[in-house]
Amino acid sequence: MKTANTSLITIGSSIVILLLIVISSHAGLSGGAILAAACVAIFGLAIVIFNWLKQKENEKADQQDNQEQQENLQVCVQSMHQGLQQILSNPTFQSIHENCIQIKEHLPQDSVQAEQLQKIINSTFLTINDFKLPEAKVEEQEVENIAEPTYSEVIDIFYDQGGFVHEKGETLLRDFLDTNQQTKLGKRTISGIKAAADESSERMQGLSTNSSEISINISTVSSAVEQLSSSLNGISSNTQQALKLSSEADYSASETLITMKELSTMADQIDGIVRLIDHIAKQTNMLALNATIEAANAGDAGKGFSVVASEVKTLSQQTTQANNDIALAMEKVQSGIARALEHTEKVNKIITNVAKINSSIDDSVQSESLAAKEVEQSVLLIAQASQQSAGNIGYASENLNAVFKSLDQMEGFFNQIASNSDTGQESSRGLVQQGKDLYTSLLGYCPAGDPMAQKIQDQLGAMENQGPEQPEESDDCDSIEFF
């Protein structure tokens, strides 16, 4: 504006000089005066031309400076937009979100681990829409219109945009740092779950080994019980047969005892008959003696009768001798019958005791047989329970293997999240740095003493002093109750 005003003044002065020359010529001034006036006019015209050329040169230089500034601002804006688009188009956001959804799908909804890991899944992530530039930001056509007498409005726009980019970059960086911390917590949680699962697996392997040993022992016990049951059945059969024989022997002994008693009675009766015969023999002998005496007294007449009496006496003596022999034999018979009766009574008592013992043995064998059957039934139930337990252990082992696979998959998801988070941190730091670079570029475009320059410097100082806070170590996983 100052150059334009100076040119106008110079042109006006030249016109005044020309007018003075014309007026002087009409006024009849001398040739020297007119020449002097003409020289002054020519000199003034030369000054005007020189100033005009200088103005054109300055305008051209200003246009070049404005074009360079426009190009620099365009490069800065494009760089900023490209950096922001790289952050927004980076698959980190969508990958983290998808990984979180996959982890959520692999967690039982009613488990304690789900509640703990849900905190990781629900970590605060700003959506892509939150990082879109405001509608009032600079577009290419706005950059083309920057060639204004002042850059204040443009600088204000880029000042706001630089603050926006820096703020969103720091927000991103804080979120990624928090994501990194939550990922560490998730990995610690998974490590705890895997440790508990390993312990459960070892316990199940021990139970499986014990179940196998129990099955072997049960098979051995079952075989022993079967042998015992078979032996008890044989003993019971033999005892029943012995009991039957004992009953028959007891009956025979009782009958023998009765017979021996009858024989003893008959022996007593025979003894009585023998005594009667002995008495008769003695009487007969007395009669024979008397007959002999009477025959001797009768003389010859009694000789025949004497012979008969002698024969009768001899017969009586033989009878007495036979009777004595019979009596002696009967005494032996009675003695033998008495001894046989005594032994028969003892045998009868023994057989009775044997029968009682056999009966007691049979009762015991029956009880043992029932107990053996109950033991065999219990062994079968234990075997079935052991087989069912082994099946349950196998099923639990398969489920535990599936849990291990899910844990490994979730651990892979967390590792991927951590990797994406590291990439996002680097991108976020780049975005923060781009905001600072934009402020630094704007500072170079501000005239000295411009309040905006001081404002930008203050903001740069604040950016250097501020930074995303590191998240504190969380001990939430220490409170997780593992199965």
Per the structure, the count of domains in the chain is 2
Instruction: Determine which helix (DSSP H) or strand (DSSP E) holds 276, and give its type and residue range.
Output: helix 152-298
pLDDT at 85: 54
**Residue range 36-47: average pLDDT?**
62
| Cβ–Cβ < 8 Å for 441, 72 | yes
| Cβ–Cβ < 8 Å for 149, 133 | no
Domain end position, chosen among 374, 396, 418: 396
State how far the Cα of 106 lies from the Cα of 190, in Å rounded to an integer: 12
pLDDT tens track for 181-193: 877 877 787 777 7
Helix intervals (H) in 27-91: 31-89
State how far the Cα of 202 lies from the Cα of 225, in Å rounded to an integer: 34
| Token digits of residue 343 | 């032994």
pLDDT at 31 over 60: no
Residue 179: burial class (beta carbons within 10 Å; 0-12, 13-18, 19+)? buried
Could you tell me if residue 33 is inside a domain?
Answer: yes
Phi, psi of 201 (to 5 degrees): -65, -45
| Residue whose tokens read 């199940």 | 204
pLDDT at 477: 46
Could you tell me if residue 481 is inside a domain?
Answer: no
Instruction: Determine which helix (DSSP H) or strand (DSSP E) holds 117, and give its type and residue range.
Output: helix 112-121
pLDDT at 458 over 80: yes
The contacts of residue 95 (CB under 8 Å, 6+ apart) are 416, 417, 420
The contacts of residue 140 (CB under 8 Å, 6+ apart) are 74, 77
For residue 305, what are the domain limits?
214-396
| Cβ–Cβ < 8 Å for 76, 438 | yes
State how far the Cα of 51 lies from the Cα of 13, in Å rounded to an integer: 13
Could you tell me if residue 228 is inside a domain?
Answer: yes
With H, G, I as helix, E, B as strand and everything else as coil, classify residue 480. coil
Could you tell me if residue 125 is inside a domain?
Answer: no
> What mean pLDDT value characterizes the chain?
67
Could you tell me if residue 166 is inside a domain?
Answer: no
State how far the Cα of 137 lies from the Cα of 142, in Å rounded to an integer: 9
Q: At residue 424, what is the residue type?
A: G
pLDDT at 43: 63
Q: At residue 56, what is the residue type?
A: K
Domain end position, chosen among 25, 60, 95: 60
Domain end position, chosen among 60, 88, 103: 60
Q: Is the pTM of this model over 0.85?
A: no
Report angle CA 203, 207, 213 to the nearest 5 degrees: 145
| Cβ–Cβ < 8 Å for 19, 2 | no
State how far the Cα of 396 lies from the Cα of 278, in Å rounded to an integer: 108
Could you tell me if residue 145 is inside a domain?
Answer: no
- Nearest Cα to 196, choosing from 358, 415, 465, 400? 400
State how far the Cα of 61 lies from the Cα of 466, in Å rounded to an integer: 41
CA distance between the termini of the chain: 83
pLDDT at 142: 47
| Cβ–Cβ < 8 Å for 355, 243 | yes
Largest interatomic CA distance in the chain: 269
| Token digits of residue 192 | 């705890």
Report angle CA 117, 118, 121 to the nearest 5 degrees: 95
State how far the Cα of 66 lies from the Cα of 146, in Å rounded to an integer: 8
Could you tell me if residue 67 is inside a domain?
Answer: no
pLDDT at 151 over 50: no
State how far the Cα of 180 lies from the Cα of 419, in Å rounded to an integer: 9
Q: 17 falls in which pLDDT band (50, 70, 90)?
A: low
pLDDT at 76 over 60: no
pLDDT tens track for 108-147: 555 444 454 455 445 434 334 444 444 434 444 444 444 4
CATH number for the domain harbouring residue 247: 1.10.287.950
pLDDT tens track for 350-399: 777 777 777 777 777 777 777 767 776 776 777 677 677 667 767 767 77
| Cβ–Cβ < 8 Å for 205, 342 | no
Could you tell me if residue 288 is inside a domain?
Answer: yes
Between 231 and 121, name the one with better pLDDT: 231
Highest averaged pLDDT of the listed ranges 27-36, 283-292, 394-403: 283-292
pLDDT at 62: 78
